[in-house]
Amino acid sequence: MLDIKWIREHEEQLQEVADRKRLPVSIRELLETDTRKRALQQEVEEGRRTRNAESERIGELMRKGDQAQAEEAREAVKALNRRLEQLEEPLREEAERLEQLMLLVPNPVSPDTPAGASDADNVEVRRMGAPPVWSFEPLDHIRLGELHRMIDIPRGVKTGGVRSYFLTGAGALLHRAVQQLAMDLLTADGFLPMEVPLMVRPETLAHTGFFPTGREQVYRIEDENRYLVGTSEAPLVAYYAGEIVDLNEPVKAAAASTCFRSEVGSAGRDVHGLYRVHQFSKVEQVVLCRADPELSERLLQHITANAERLLQLLELPYRVMAVCIGDMSQKTYKQYDIETWMPSRGTYGETHSSSNLHDFQARRANIRYRDSDGRLRYAHTLNNTMVATPRILIPLLENHQQEDGSIRIPVALRPYMGGIERLMPPGMV
């Protein structure tokens, strides 16, 4: 949520951003609603001041014994009260409409954000590593998972419905291993590890920018006013909601959590295997810092580098993409996606995302700090998907497969996998 004065001063710019982010909001309508609401509010406040003054005057007239003028003043106060009652409903309606529109206003984007309408227009910033070249016909992650008895999608669908799966044996161990490696890297970097609520109130998702625009992607708990999170970013940010935080140094927090996503609107897209599922796990980085654009930009580069470091340790080829405005969410000021090479897709697939939100979330969640002059200011917030699994298992299994059907375990993962160097198919010596 942005400051209304700033919105007035940047109406055309914000409308262009809203249009490019495909948000159903008219900035002109918002400003007109604000004008009407302010006029009604001013009339109500002036009426209340007049009523209070008249009430005091009635008391003085009564003390003086001037019953006639006191009665006349009482009638005036009654008329004023009727007018105030008439204003209550339109004022409430305008205030509610203004709040609804304000929740749809987009965060502006950074000057270096690429123009574009979709992920096809994202711009490559750098790439690391090269796709493997084999002298044999490689298997995709599903065939590898079946060969190693580590992925079972038919039983997942039987049990949980479409886009469900079981990870068994080495699959379950790899799933947890990459999460623990990610958490260990973040803990060493000074991030506070946290276990977070997975069921949250609607205001938690509104404060962090996931409502109202992303509501269709969130599972609601029937008969409860709570929702299942699609990322621990929401509870990590909400942890500081309504607080004045010490930001002499950036606050860094991380969580490994199960996540849920309905994937409404994605029918027919990326449905093969483990790429797009309803339940998954993520390790998330969240950072709060002072409202210094240069500082939050440095932190954006830092959290992106953390995710890159993980991919380097997993020995996977990847590229970093600057996300264009048309592929951004409402809340994002600047974003990088990291895409990892997935042989079965013959291309890179998104596995990580880093975002700088400036003070967009902090304004909604009322997260503030005191600057060097003691003034209260809204913080900047940032987030990054350090790793999401089982999606990361796609490149991990496919890129490290060997001709004999075995799968090489990257050196950094071996301590989390009992020291084994290769996964061998059952029955293979």
pLDDT of residue 314: 98
Mean pLDDT on 102-115: 96
Of 3-7, 196-200, 379-383, 405-409, the one with minimum mean pLDDT is 3-7
Q: Please state the pTM of the whole predicted model.
A: 0.92
The model's confidence at residue 66, banded by pLDDT at 50, 70 and 90, is confident
- Whether the pLDDT of residue 269 is over 60: the answer is no
Q: What is the pLDDT of residues 318-333, one digit of tens each?
A: 999 999 999 999 999 9
pLDDT of residue 72: 80
User: Rg of the chain over CA atoms, in angstroms?
Assistant: 28
How distant, in Å, are the alpha carbons of 68, 72, 73, 112 from that of 64? Answer: 11, 15, 14, 72
Which is more confident, 117 or 265? 117
pLDDT of residue 267: 55
As a whole number of angstroms, the distance between CA 76 and CA 88 comes to 19
pLDDT of residue 367: 98
Return the amino acid letter for 329.
S
pLDDT of residue 407: 98
Q: Which residues are catalytic?
A: 261, 276, 350, 353, 391
Domains and CATH numbers, the chain: 4-102 (1.10.287.40), 119-423 (3.30.930.10)
- Three-state DSSP class for 19? helix
pLDDT of residue 353: 98
Mean pLDDT on 146-159: 96
As a whole number of angstroms, the distance between CA 306 and CA 341 comes to 18
- Whether the pLDDT of residue 395 is over 90: the answer is yes
- Tokens (6 digits) for 100: 């609804």
Determine which helix (DSSP H) or strand (DSSP E) holds 379, and give its type and residue range: none
